[in-house]
């Protein structure tokens, strides 16, 4: 049974008023239910939120998912249409756990699928094998049709397969891993790419296993290199330490006005030439709370002020809502120049994420700003800001509720979402959650700074 078949059956049962305890669901298209008590409904209501999460729950590898879905849809109609907002409810909690797990599985599919090129009757075709944790082939593969729509491809998994013929995405039966044994030059391409992005300074085997679970390794050619790269790490680290790294030269103990003036002439990085100007921090020179973002965007680059573009508006709305005045705090970025690349048609400047080298180059300016202001609390928004302040790779979702008190730059460091991640949110639910979390982190930081 799939989500659409379940919907059809569930609608009939709801119309007839069959209670969840009566229905016995299983994966077969046939199912049984006994008649105990019925509360017929003329027109069942299915809220939009349920239709958004329903297909994700239906894709979970959980034998109870159909019962759970029916219990929720029945309760939405008989108890409260707002049931999904009751996050402490056991059914809602279980549903949200499954949604989270399925979304994560889809994300891993997008990250770990590796295509191999084969020739079928003279036509270049791409195939891949992937073993998802859940039944996510139908939900996860439309992404590849959008991303690689100009090539025919197939993705096989033990449960199902997806096939793109340049016009239509269709689904078929699965395939065992041992039946899928193609090897080609694409393996070499992936290996070269992986070798080029492997950073020995960030080697953390435990984290690597968490992020890229060994269960996916068999279909990822680059993982054959992991042992070799790990073995070479000490030599590569030595080489990196010996290589000269650019870093802005900033005189000690300058006030904000002098720092801003000096930074306006900084040309340490190539981005200084391709952007309009240095965008230095602004705000109260004695602020107890400092907000640090990533780097200026296109609008900030043109105007010369931090956080005034679309992400800045998200931040401004939250600050207004919390009653925090922008002029009472200090707002800056970890990197002070706009790094960008032209769009395909050459008409727009597309933001490029700052590298570790960019953060390293610009950190003296950030340290000098912090030394001049001496804020009690720094809130770092996004991975770049958090990594620059803490000097290590940071996962915002895992650390945002902490108050980090062992950092040399400020008594308290809090990390939270960058407002641009709210603009890029997966869906409304994700957006609302990130706004609520950023709001709560900013409020916590502000209250702590006032103590
Ligand atoms: S990004 Fe920072 S270090 Fe690089 S040129 Fe701009 S101000 Fe200087």
The answer to whether 416 touches 438, Cβ cutoff 8 Å, is yes
43 Cα: distance to centroid of ligand 1 (angstroms): 62
The answer to whether 162 touches 169, Cβ cutoff 8 Å, is yes
The answer to whether 292 touches 305, Cβ cutoff 8 Å, is no
CA 25, CA 1: separation in Å to the nearest integer?
10
Quote the pLDDT of residue 415: 97
Judging by DSSP bridges, how do beta strands 377-381 and 349-351 pair with one another?
Answer: unpaired
- Residue 173, φ and ψ in degrees, nearest 5: -70, 165
Quote the pLDDT of residue 121: 65
Q: Directed axis angle between helix 48-58 and helix 65-78, to 10°? A: 170
Q: Residues enclosing ligand 1, CB less than 6 A?
A: 248, 263, 266-269, 271-272, 278, 335-337, 361-362, 365
Which segments in the chain show pLDDT lower than 50?
A: 35, 185-186
Nearest-CA residue for atom 7 of ligand 1: 336
Q: pLDDT tens digit string along 165-220? A: 888 999 988 877 766 665 554 455 555 555 555 555 555 556 556 655 666 666 66
Which of 249, 271, 333, 339 maximizes ligand 1 atoms within 8 Å of its Cβ, making it the mutation to test the pocket? Answer: 271
Q: Which long-range contacts (CB under 8 A, 24 or more apart) does 429-432 make?
A: 429/49, 429/52, 429/53
Quote the pLDDT of residue 217: 60
Closest ligand 1 atom to residue 335 Cα is 1
| Closest alpha carbon to 293 in 382, 387, 415, 397 | 382
Quote the pLDDT of residue 402: 93
Closest ligand 1 atom to residue 275 Cα is 6
Quote the pLDDT of residue 151: 82
Q: pLDDT tens digit string along 101-141? A: 999 999 989 888 888 777 666 677 788 889 999 999 999 99
The DSSP-derived string for 371-433 is: HHH--SEEEEESHHHHHHHHSS---HHHHTT--B---SS-SEEEEE--HHHHHT-SSHHHHHH
Closest ligand 1 atom to residue 266 Cα is 8
The domain locations on the chain are 3-105, 113-179, 185-242, 256-450
Judging by DSSP bridges, how do beta strands 282-283 and 330-333 pair with one another?
Answer: antiparallel
202 Cα: distance to centroid of ligand 1 (angstroms): 23
Which residues, including other chains, have CB under 8 Å from residue 341's CB and lie 6 or more apart? 349, 350, 352
Cα radius of gyration (the chain) = 26
Which of 261, 266, 274 maximizes ligand 1 atoms within 8 Å of its Cβ, making it the mutation to test the pocket? Answer: 266
* Beta-sheet strands, E only, within 301-366: 330-333, 340-342, 349-351
372 Cα: distance to centroid of ligand 1 (angstroms): 18
The CATH architecture annotation of domain 256-450 reads 3-Layer(aba) Sandwich (3.40)
| Closest alpha carbon to 182 in 146, 143, 221 | 221
| Upper half-sphere CA count for residue 217 (Cβ side, 13 Å) | 13
CA dihedral (301, 307, 310, 315) in degrees, to 10, reads: 170
- 146: its two tokens: 């959008």
Closest ligand 1 atom to residue 272 Cα is 5
SS3 for 37-52 is: CECCCCCCCCCHHHHH
Superfamily of domain 113-179: DHHA2 domain (3.10.310.20)
383 Cα: distance to centroid of ligand 1 (angstroms): 18
Which of 337, 354, 357, 388 maximizes ligand 1 atoms within 8 Å of its Cβ, making it the mutation to test the pocket? Answer: 337
Quote the pLDDT of residue 381: 97
């Amino acid at each position: 049974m799939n989500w659409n078949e379940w919907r059809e059956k569930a609608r009939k049962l709801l119309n007839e008023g069959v209670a969840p305890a009566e229905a016995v669901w299983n994966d077969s298209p046939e199912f049984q239910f006994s008649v105990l008590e019925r509360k017929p409904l003329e027109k069942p209501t299915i809220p939009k939120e349920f239709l958004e999460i329903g297909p994700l729950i239906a894709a979970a590898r959980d034998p109870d998912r159909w019962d759970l879905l029916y219990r929720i849809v029945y309760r939405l109609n008989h108890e409260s249409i707002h049931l999904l907002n009751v996050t402490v409810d056991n059914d809602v909690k279980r549903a949200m756990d499954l949604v989270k797990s399925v979304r994560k599985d889809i994300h891993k599919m997008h990250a770990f699928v590796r295509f191999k090129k084969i020739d079928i009757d003279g036509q270049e075709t791409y195939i891949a094998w992937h073993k998802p944790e859940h039944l996510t082939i139908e939900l996860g593969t439309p992404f590849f049709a959008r991303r690689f729509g100009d090539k025919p491809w197939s993705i096989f998994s033990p449960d199902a397969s997806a096939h793109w013929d340049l016009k239509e995405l269709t689904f078929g039966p699965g395939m065992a891993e041992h039946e899928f044994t193609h090897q080609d030059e694409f393996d070499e391409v992936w290996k070269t790419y992986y070798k080029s992005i492997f950073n020995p300074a960030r080697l953390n085997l435990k984290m690597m296993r968490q992020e890229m679970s060994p269960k996916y390794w068999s279909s990822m050619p680059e993982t054959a290199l992991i042992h070799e790269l790990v073995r070479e790490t000490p030599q590569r680290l030595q080489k990196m330490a010996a290589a000269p790294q650019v870093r802005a030269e900033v005189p000690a103990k300058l006030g904000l006005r002098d720092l801003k003036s000096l930074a306006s002439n900084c040309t340490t990085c190539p981005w200084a030439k391709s952007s309009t100007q240095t965008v230095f921090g602004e705000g109260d020179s004695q602020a107890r709370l400092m907000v640090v973002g990533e780097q200026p965007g296109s609008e900030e680059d043109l105007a010369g002020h931090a956080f005034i573009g679309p992400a800045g508006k998200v931040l401004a709305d939250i600050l207004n809502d919390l009653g925090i005045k922008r002029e009472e705090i200090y707002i800056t970025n970890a990197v002070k120049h706009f790094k960008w690349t032209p769009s395909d048609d050459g008409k727009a400047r597309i933001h490029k994420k700052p590298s570790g080298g960019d953060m390293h180059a610009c950190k003296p300016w950030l340290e000098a700003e912090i030394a001049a202001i001496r804020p009690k609390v720094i809130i770092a928004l996004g991975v770049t800001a958090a990594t620059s302040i803490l000097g290590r790779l940071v996962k915002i979702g895992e650390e945002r509720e902490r108050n980090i008190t062992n950092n040399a730059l400020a008594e308290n460091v809090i990390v939270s979402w960058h407002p641009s991640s709210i603009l890029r949110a997966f869906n409304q639910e994700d957006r609302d959650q990130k706004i609520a979390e950023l709001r709560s982190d900013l409020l916590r930081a502000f209250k702590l700074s006032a103590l």
